[in-house]
Each structure stands twice: as C-alpha cells, then as structure tokens.
Amino acid sequence: MTAPASSPWLSTKPIPPRDRLIFALDTSSATEAKRLIELLGDEVQFYKLGLELFMSGEYFELIDHLSERGKKCFVDLKFFDVPQTVGSAVRQLRGRNAAFATVHGNDAILEAACREKGDTRILAVTVLTSLDDGDLRDLGFEVDVRKLVISRARRALEIGCDGVISSGLEAEALREALGERLLIVCPGIRPVKNIDDQKRTVDVEEAFGNGADYIVVGRPIREAADPAAAAADIQDRIVRLFGPG
C-alpha cells in the first residue's frame, strides 16, 4: 500500500529523513551488533537496543560505541516495575546517548519515568505489535486494540511522555484523536509480505502515511541477503515521501 506525499497525516516534524529509520539491533552479542553497525555504515543513523542485547552484559558499551560513531540510540527496555524503581532506572540514562527510552505501565510508572528523563524522550508502550484482539481477550482486556491504544496514548501525553510506541495500523487514529503533539514510533514494519510473529504490521509508506514519525525495522534488514542494500532501499522510500531534507 502506497501513501502519497500529500497524505494529511504525513509527519511535519523537523526530523532528518535518514533518522526516521530506526534499525532494531536485536542480536545476542556485542560482537555481532558491532559487525552489523559496521556493515550498515551510513545507511542507518538510528539504532534500537533491546532486551536481548541487554542480557549480553555489554549494553552500555554498545551505547558508547554508537555515540562515538555519531549514531543515535533508542533504549528499548520497556521499563516496568514499581514507580520508584522505574524512575531510578531512567535516571541511569542521563549523560548517555539515549535519544528514546520505552516505559510500560500505569500512570504512576510513566510519571516516575518522566520526572527522571533528562534529555531522553520517554515513549510509552501502547499495545505490542505481536498482539491482536484475540490475544488481548486472553489477557483479560475486553476492548478492541484501537481503543486501548488511543486511551493509553492520551494518558501518556497528559502525564508528560514525549510519544508512544504503536502499530502503524493505529497511527492514523492517534493523529485524528491527538494531533501532532506526540511522537509516534511504529515497529512491525514489513516492506514485503509478513511471515513471522508480528501480527499488526504495515509497510513503510503506509506507516508514514498514517502519521508515524519514525519506523523501526529489524528482521527485513538483518535477514536480507544484503542488509545495507535493504536499508538503503527503505531510506530511498523515505526520501520519496519526505524529500532529501
């Protein structure tokens, strides 16, 4: 599905076009992560570091590695604990190259994160893109995905979060309900037909046409025959939407 550049929801925020692609650096070792960073070179400027790398024991070393190379870092640890613990964890990111950090939880948890965020932008998790309506019913949520996403995003914005993590399928509804006030970061991007565990997916043009400010892409780049070429193709598609910047 292709979204024309005239889409009413296309982001107007002053974000360099090449920063709008965030690569999910989901590997089990710092060595492999560094190999991918080197391989992708100038094709990727923004990296997401998640739980798998955190458990490798070299998480902050990798943040420093990215910073030394002029790259941006997204700390995707989905902090979820009692508010005091979450606030203390977020405080540990001060002085690091952490552009974004994800937080999951209720109002008190989000408030604690926002109090300690410093220069890091806090992104509230709405509903994981690996979940659909059936999964939510199994978890005890008798509400459709879209309504839950909008409700959580509205509360997060009122609390002081800078944005949300949301499927591109709900991005348009978020823009309709909340306008341009928040950042929308969309994972679950599949440039071609989806065959993995992500359920609520969109392609590059659809995500941005629906209002995404950033997209997160992992496996379609990492598992490509030529990862740098796959990233370059996505960057070309972004430039066609936003211009060269």
Instruction: List Cβ neighbours of 90 (8 Å cut-off, separation of 6 or more).
Output: 79, 101, 103, 112, 113, 116, 117, 120, 122
Amino acid at 188: G
> Which residue among 34, 78, 147, 199 is the active-site one?
78
- Residue 63 near residue 96 (C-beta atoms within 8 A): yes
The tokens of 41 are what? 């070179």
Distance between CA atoms of residues 211 and 175, nearest Å: 6
Angle between helices 107-115 and 145-159 (to 10 degrees): 40
The Cβ of residue 80 has, within 10 Å, a number of other Cβ atoms equal to: 15
The Cβ of residue 132 has, within 10 Å, a number of other Cβ atoms equal to: 15
For the question of residue 78 being annotated catalytic, the response is yes
Only one residue has tokens 């400027």, namely 45
Angle between helices 145-159 and 168-178 (to 10 degrees): 50
Instruction: Give the catalytic positions in this structure.
Output: 78
